Amino acid sequence: MIIWQKRAPIATLSWILSLAALPYIGLIIYYVFGPQKIKRRRMRRVASKLRLTGGLAAAAANDITPPVTAVQMAKLGTATSYLPPASCSRLEILVDGGAAFSAIFTAIEQAEHSVHLEYYIYEPDHIGLALARLLARKAQEGVKVRLLIDALGSKRLGKKFLGPMLNAGVVIAFFHHTTFRKFRPVINMRTHRKIVVCDDRIGFTGGINITDEEDERINPHAYHDLHLLLEGQAVERLQQVFWEDWFYTTGEQRQAAQTLTATPGDQIVQVLQSGPDNELAPIYRTYLATINAAQERVWLTTPYFVPDEAAMTALTSAALRGVDVRVMVPRKSDSRLVTLAARSYFEELTQAGVQVWEYTTRMLHSKTLVVDRSYAMIGTANFDNRSFRLNFEVSVLGYGEYLADRLAIEFEKDLEHCVRVGRPRKISKLEAFGEACARLCSPLL
């Protein structure tokens, strides 16, 4: 079974060695956490049907042409993610949960027809309760409210919390229940996406979940994160991603699309969706393609840095040819194992000339990339195997200077709260051993 699975040889070898060394425990681990087949045929059929009845068919005549220098990059995104570039009349970076939640709540408050939300983590805490009450009120006002939440990431939501929303008319669905099916839970293949779309008019995505852990107004030690607000034709692309996940989960199909009336904008972006149903790995490929195309700078921010060989080669090769390559990670993440695994790559990076910076103030949770003044990416995907291949993710790739300049400004602000990793690193043999062991788990992280 393991041999026949199409995956990186190193991942296959890791599983084989684990089973050989720990035959019983390894088998249990593989059974629970190993690669799990998703209903790819159904997903593709759903995607195809939705694109015929959804907004992309209506928008086909309004496809946007990216800058001449980015035509091939846009072709890559369209060929792998099936979503062509679109324009934005408004594109705004929201720094931390306070700004993001304020903007999202305002958009929901102003919604007249529909509110669609998809989240990995939704906690029944202060911010979660405030959102639940708002959604219930909007549903009572006649707005169609659909809430799609991951069954594992939002496992703390119970009937008592969900009841008032359901009674008010909010339609709630759980993505991939974790209960045992044929004695095997769906641990992988989570929806890690964070999407809000109101009235097909305004959309949000980025790294911020629904939890007090992301709101610095409530928790002074809240995660430091970035979110993106979009208006214009690009919102339809986010809507499309939501509907594919919604139909896959509930069977409810989107009604025939109406002609898009969104005002064309000056900014061009491309929504990239990836997941275990798409072997082309759109977000992963776009990361590598943009890094390999860099001429001046590659500034990467990620809370979980566990690159594979190709990603490491792209980063180090860029630095070796003179590109300003900087990688920013949290000094301490919420996963000790991932922190150790990330640090195991630092020596190789710094030897090649990559600047590695550790954010010290809070837990850094933003996921961004700035390449020259040509490309900028922000979304839900971490720089690791889980985001690139196991989870359902969504990111927004911006073309041109506008988004790149704004994310670069945020990167430079964050540098003020970082310490640079020196070379050579001064660590004990025990720490080095721990990092080496954690690195062996990279295919699983």
Active site residues: 192, 194, 199, 365, 367, 372
Q: Are strands 267-274 and 393-399 parallel, antiparallel or unpaired?
A: antiparallel
Q: What is the CA radius of gyration of the chain?
A: 21
Within 13 Å and on the Cβ side, how many CA atoms surround 27?
3
**If you write DSSP's letter for every residue of 162-191 in order, what string do you get?**
HHHHHHHT-EEEEES--S-BTTB---SS-B
**If you write DSSP's letter for every residue of 1-50 in order, what string do you get?**
-TTTS-S-HHHHHHHHHHHHHSHHHHHHHHHHHS-----HHHHHHHHHHH
CA-based nearest residue to 328, from 226, 402, 238 = 226
Q: Which residues pair with 145 in a beta bridge?
A: 115
CA pair distance 371, 256, nearest whole angstrom: 38
CA-based nearest residue to 397, from 371, 365, 423 = 371
CA pair distance 333, 330, nearest whole angstrom: 6
Rounded to 5 degrees, what are φ and ψ at 259?
-60, 130
